[in-house]
Protein backbone atom coordinates (compact mmCIF):
# COMPACT_ATOMS: atom_id res chain seq x y z
CA UNK A 1 0.00 0.00 0.00
CA UNK A 2 1.25 3.48 -0.91
CA UNK A 3 2.09 5.38 2.29
CA UNK A 4 2.42 8.90 0.90
CA UNK A 5 1.70 10.89 -2.26
CA UNK A 6 5.45 11.38 -2.65
CA UNK A 7 5.71 7.75 -3.76
CA UNK A 8 3.78 8.59 -6.95
CA UNK A 9 6.61 10.84 -8.09
CA UNK A 10 7.19 14.50 -8.86
CA UNK A 11 5.22 14.52 -12.12
CA UNK A 12 2.15 13.13 -10.36
CA UNK A 13 2.32 15.78 -7.62
CA UNK A 14 2.72 18.60 -10.13
CA UNK A 15 -0.33 17.36 -12.06
CA UNK A 16 -2.28 17.02 -8.82
CA UNK A 17 -1.54 20.61 -7.82
CA UNK A 18 -2.34 21.85 -11.31
CA UNK A 19 -5.75 20.22 -10.90
CA UNK A 20 -6.22 21.62 -7.39
CA UNK A 21 -5.50 25.13 -8.63
CA UNK A 22 -7.42 24.99 -11.92
CA UNK A 23 -10.31 22.67 -11.06
CA UNK A 24 -12.31 24.29 -8.26
CA UNK A 25 -14.86 21.48 -8.12
CA UNK A 26 -12.18 18.86 -7.57
CA UNK A 27 -10.52 20.95 -4.89
CA UNK A 28 -13.78 21.24 -2.97
CA UNK A 29 -14.34 17.49 -3.26
CA UNK A 30 -10.90 16.32 -2.21
CA UNK A 31 -10.09 18.96 0.41
CA UNK A 32 -12.21 17.15 3.02
CA UNK A 33 -9.92 14.11 2.68
CA UNK A 34 -6.55 15.50 1.67
CA UNK A 35 -4.15 16.24 4.54
CA UNK A 36 -0.87 18.23 4.25
CA UNK A 37 1.17 15.38 5.75
CA UNK A 38 0.27 13.13 2.82
CA UNK A 39 2.72 15.14 0.68
CA UNK A 40 5.76 14.61 2.99
CA UNK A 41 7.84 17.30 1.24
CA UNK A 42 7.73 20.75 2.82
CA UNK A 43 7.20 22.68 -0.44
CA UNK A 44 4.09 20.69 -1.34
CA UNK A 45 2.75 20.86 2.20
CA UNK A 46 3.22 24.64 2.24
CA UNK A 47 1.53 25.11 -1.13
CA UNK A 48 -1.46 22.99 -0.12
CA UNK A 49 -1.87 24.92 3.14
CA UNK A 50 -1.83 28.17 1.16
CA UNK A 51 -4.53 26.88 -1.20
CA UNK A 52 -6.65 25.60 1.67
CA UNK A 53 -6.42 28.74 3.83
CA UNK A 54 -7.10 31.01 0.85
CA UNK A 55 -10.19 29.03 -0.06
CA UNK A 56 -11.42 29.01 3.55
CA UNK A 57 -11.17 32.80 3.65
CA UNK A 58 -12.26 33.82 0.14
CA UNK A 59 -14.17 30.76 -1.15
CA UNK A 60 -12.01 30.71 -4.24
CA UNK A 61 -8.72 29.11 -5.32
CA UNK A 62 -5.79 31.54 -5.65
CA UNK A 63 -4.62 32.07 -9.23
CA UNK A 64 -1.02 31.58 -10.28
CA UNK A 65 -0.57 35.35 -10.18
CA UNK A 66 -1.95 35.51 -6.65
CA UNK A 67 0.36 32.68 -5.59
CA UNK A 68 3.34 34.58 -7.02
CA UNK A 69 2.33 37.59 -4.92
CA UNK A 70 2.03 35.44 -1.80
CA UNK A 71 5.41 33.80 -2.34
CA UNK A 72 7.03 37.18 -3.01
CA UNK A 73 6.44 37.96 0.67
CA UNK A 74 8.55 35.01 1.84
CA UNK A 75 11.66 36.42 3.54
CA UNK A 76 13.94 33.41 3.09
CA UNK A 77 15.33 33.70 -0.44
CA UNK A 78 15.92 29.94 -0.81
CA UNK A 79 12.33 29.10 0.10
CA UNK A 80 11.03 31.90 -2.11
CA UNK A 81 12.91 30.60 -5.16
CA UNK A 82 11.77 27.05 -4.42
CA UNK A 83 8.10 28.06 -4.48
CA UNK A 84 8.50 30.19 -7.62
CA UNK A 85 10.10 27.24 -9.47
CA UNK A 86 7.40 24.90 -8.23
CA UNK A 87 4.63 27.12 -9.60
CA UNK A 88 6.34 27.30 -13.00
CA UNK A 89 6.68 23.50 -13.08
CA UNK A 90 3.01 23.07 -12.15
CA UNK A 91 1.85 25.50 -14.85
CA UNK A 92 3.83 23.76 -17.60
CA UNK A 93 3.35 20.11 -16.64
CA UNK A 94 1.79 17.80 -19.25
CA UNK A 95 -1.89 17.10 -18.51
CA UNK A 96 -3.03 14.14 -20.62
CA UNK A 97 -3.59 11.78 -17.67
CA UNK A 98 -5.22 14.22 -15.26
CA UNK A 99 -8.36 12.00 -14.91
CA UNK A 100 -6.16 9.17 -13.63
CA UNK A 101 -4.42 11.54 -11.20
CA UNK A 102 -7.80 12.55 -9.80
CA UNK A 103 -9.00 8.98 -9.35
CA UNK A 104 -5.72 7.84 -7.82
CA UNK A 105 -5.68 10.75 -5.39
CA UNK A 106 -9.22 9.99 -4.25
CA UNK A 107 -8.36 6.30 -3.86
CA UNK A 108 -5.23 7.11 -1.84
CA UNK A 109 -7.09 9.55 0.44
CA UNK A 110 -9.87 7.02 1.02
CA UNK A 111 -7.35 4.38 2.06
CA UNK A 112 -5.57 6.80 4.37
CA UNK A 113 -8.83 7.89 5.99
CA UNK A 114 -9.83 4.28 6.65
CA UNK A 115 -6.35 3.39 7.88
CA UNK A 116 -6.33 6.29 10.34
CA UNK A 117 -9.78 5.32 11.59
CA UNK A 118 -8.68 1.73 12.15
CA UNK A 119 -5.57 2.86 14.03
CA UNK A 120 -7.71 5.10 16.24
CA UNK A 121 -10.13 2.21 16.75
CA UNK A 122 -7.39 -0.06 18.09
CA UNK A 123 -6.68 2.46 20.83
CA UNK A 124 -10.36 2.75 21.75
CA UNK A 125 -10.69 -1.01 21.66
CA UNK A 126 -8.26 -1.24 24.57
CA UNK A 127 -10.66 0.73 26.74
CA UNK A 128 -13.77 -0.94 25.28
CA UNK A 129 -15.03 2.31 23.74
CA UNK A 130 -17.22 0.59 21.17
CA UNK A 131 -19.52 3.57 20.66
CA UNK A 132 -16.48 5.72 19.88
CA UNK A 133 -15.25 3.13 17.39
CA UNK A 134 -18.64 2.99 15.70
CA UNK A 135 -18.83 6.80 15.48
CA UNK A 136 -15.31 7.04 14.03
CA UNK A 137 -15.98 4.37 11.41
CA UNK A 138 -19.30 5.93 10.40
CA UNK A 139 -17.62 9.31 10.07
CA UNK A 140 -14.85 7.79 7.96
CA UNK A 141 -17.37 6.14 5.65
CA UNK A 142 -19.19 9.44 5.19
CA UNK A 143 -15.94 11.26 4.43
CA UNK A 144 -14.78 8.81 1.76
CA UNK A 145 -18.13 8.95 -0.06
CA UNK A 146 -17.04 11.81 -2.31
CA UNK A 147 -17.90 10.67 -5.83
CA UNK A 148 -21.33 12.29 -5.80
CA UNK A 149 -19.68 15.69 -5.24
CA UNK A 150 -17.32 15.63 -8.22
CA UNK A 151 -19.58 17.62 -10.52
CA UNK A 152 -21.17 19.90 -7.92
CA UNK A 153 -19.72 23.17 -6.77
CA UNK A 154 -21.55 24.30 -3.63
CA UNK A 155 -20.20 27.83 -3.90
CA UNK A 156 -21.52 28.45 -7.43
CA UNK A 157 -24.12 31.24 -7.31
CA UNK A 158 -24.07 31.07 -3.51
CA UNK A 159 -24.89 34.76 -3.03
CA UNK A 160 -27.85 34.53 -5.40
CA UNK A 161 -29.19 31.43 -3.65
CA UNK A 162 -29.20 33.06 -0.21
CA UNK A 163 -30.46 36.46 -1.38
CA UNK A 164 -33.58 37.62 0.44
CA UNK A 165 -36.28 37.65 -2.26
CA UNK A 166 -39.36 37.29 -0.05
CA UNK A 167 -42.30 39.22 -1.42
CA UNK A 168 -45.93 39.59 -0.43
CA UNK A 169 -45.47 38.90 3.29
CA UNK A 170 -48.65 37.78 5.05
CA UNK A 171 -48.81 38.23 8.83
CA UNK A 172 -49.89 35.20 10.88
CA UNK A 173 -51.50 37.40 13.52
CA UNK A 174 -49.15 36.21 16.27
CA UNK A 175 -46.84 39.11 17.11
CA UNK A 176 -43.90 37.08 18.43
CA UNK A 177 -44.08 34.66 15.50
CA UNK A 178 -44.34 37.46 12.96
CA UNK A 179 -41.30 39.13 14.52
CA UNK A 180 -39.31 35.92 14.23
CA UNK A 181 -40.43 35.52 10.60
CA UNK A 182 -39.64 39.17 9.76
CA UNK A 183 -43.26 40.02 9.16
CA UNK A 184 -44.88 36.67 8.50
CA UNK A 185 -44.94 34.10 5.72
CA UNK A 186 -44.25 34.95 2.12
CA UNK A 187 -46.66 34.05 -0.65
CA UNK A 188 -45.86 30.52 -1.75
CA UNK A 189 -43.89 29.68 1.39
CA UNK A 190 -44.78 26.71 3.56
CA UNK A 191 -44.76 27.35 7.30
CA UNK A 192 -44.36 24.35 9.59
CA UNK A 193 -44.75 24.68 13.37
CA UNK A 194 -42.66 22.11 15.24
CA UNK A 195 -42.42 21.68 19.02
CA UNK A 196 -42.78 18.96 21.68
CA UNK A 197 -46.19 17.95 22.95
CA UNK A 198 -47.80 20.50 25.26
CA UNK A 199 -45.73 23.50 24.12
CA UNK A 200 -48.74 25.39 22.74
CA UNK A 201 -48.68 24.59 19.02
CA UNK A 202 -52.42 24.09 19.01
CA UNK A 203 -55.51 25.24 20.86
CA UNK A 204 -58.49 22.85 21.10
CA UNK A 205 -57.16 20.77 18.20
CA UNK A 206 -56.92 23.82 15.97
CA UNK A 207 -53.66 25.73 15.36
CA UNK A 208 -53.89 29.41 16.18
CA UNK A 209 -52.66 30.47 12.76
CA UNK A 210 -55.24 28.33 11.00
CA UNK A 211 -58.57 29.63 9.74
CA UNK A 212 -61.55 29.31 12.04
CA UNK A 213 -63.22 25.89 11.74
CA UNK A 214 -66.94 25.74 12.40
CA UNK A 215 -68.23 23.02 14.72
CA UNK A 216 -70.87 20.52 13.74
CA UNK A 217 -73.95 20.34 15.95
CA UNK A 218 -75.66 16.96 16.30
CA UNK A 219 -78.91 16.28 18.14
CA UNK A 220 -79.12 12.73 19.46
CA UNK A 221 -82.31 10.70 20.00
CA UNK A 222 -82.18 11.35 23.75
CA UNK A 223 -82.48 15.07 22.89
CA UNK A 224 -78.86 15.72 23.83
CA UNK A 225 -77.24 18.35 21.63
CA UNK A 226 -73.48 18.15 21.24
CA UNK A 227 -70.87 20.01 19.25
CA UNK A 228 -68.08 18.24 17.38
CA UNK A 229 -65.13 19.22 15.26
CA UNK A 230 -65.49 17.95 11.69
CA UNK A 231 -62.80 15.31 12.16
CA UNK A 232 -64.12 13.89 15.43
CA UNK A 233 -65.41 10.32 15.35
CA UNK A 234 -69.07 9.84 16.38
CA UNK A 235 -70.40 6.57 17.77
CA UNK A 236 -73.69 5.96 15.99
CA UNK A 237 -76.73 4.03 17.38
CA UNK A 238 -75.95 1.15 15.00
CA UNK A 239 -72.53 0.70 16.65
CA UNK A 240 -70.52 2.13 13.75
CA UNK A 241 -68.30 5.21 13.87
CA UNK A 242 -68.19 8.13 11.47
CA UNK A 243 -66.43 11.47 11.30
CA UNK A 244 -68.82 14.23 12.35
CA UNK A 245 -68.70 15.90 8.94
CA UNK A 246 -70.09 12.75 7.30
CA UNK A 247 -72.92 12.06 9.76
CA UNK A 248 -76.41 12.06 8.18
CA UNK A 249 -79.92 11.99 9.66
CA UNK A 250 -80.43 8.43 8.40
CA UNK A 251 -77.52 7.29 10.60
CA UNK A 252 -79.88 7.64 13.60
CA UNK A 253 -82.71 5.56 12.12
CA UNK A 254 -82.92 1.76 11.80
What pLDDT sits at residue 162?
53
The CA-CA-CA angle for residues 3, 7, 11, to 5°, reads 145
* 215 phi, psi to nearest 5 deg: -85, 160
Q: Do 188 and 233 share a domain, yes or no?
A: no
What pLDDT sits at residue 116?
84
Is the separation of the CB atoms in 171 and 186 below 8 Å? no
Element housing 203 (H / E): strand 202-203
pLDDT tens, position by position, 177-212: 788 888 888 766 777 777 776 666 665 455 554 445
Q: Do 70 and 40 share a domain, yes or no?
A: yes
Is residue 126 very low, low, confident or very high in pLDDT (cuts 50, 70, 90)? confident
Q: Do 190 and 230 share a domain, yes or no?
A: no
pLDDT reading at 230 higher than 50: yes
Q: How many domains does the chain have?
A: 3
Q: Give a yes or no: residue 155 inside a domain.
A: no
Q: Give a yes or no: residue 27 inside a domain.
A: yes
Query: Whole-model pTM above 0.85?
Result: no
pLDDT reading at 124 higher than 90: no
Residue numbers of the domain that contains 11: 5-149
* 107 phi, psi to nearest 5 deg: -60, -45
Q: Do 169 and 194 share a domain, yes or no?
A: yes
Is the separation of the CB atoms in 14 and 96 below 8 Å? no
Q: What is the DSSP string of 120-170?
A: HHHHHHHTT-HHHHHHHHHHHHHHH--GGGTT--TTTTHHHHTS----S-B
Q: Do 196 and 231 share a domain, yes or no?
A: no
pLDDT reading at 246 higher than 60: yes
pLDDT reading at 13 higher than 70: yes
Is the separation of the CB atoms in 252 and 236 below 8 Å? yes
In angstroms, the Cα distances linking 234 to 189, 200, 214 are 35, 26, 17
pLDDT reading at 167 higher than 70: no
Amino acid sequence: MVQSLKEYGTSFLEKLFKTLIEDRSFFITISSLLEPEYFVETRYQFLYKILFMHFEKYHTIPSYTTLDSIFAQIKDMGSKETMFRLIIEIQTVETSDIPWVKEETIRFCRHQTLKNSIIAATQKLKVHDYEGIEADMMNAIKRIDVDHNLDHDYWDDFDDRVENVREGIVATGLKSLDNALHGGLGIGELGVVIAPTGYGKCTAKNTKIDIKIEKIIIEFDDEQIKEFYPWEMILLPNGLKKEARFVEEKDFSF
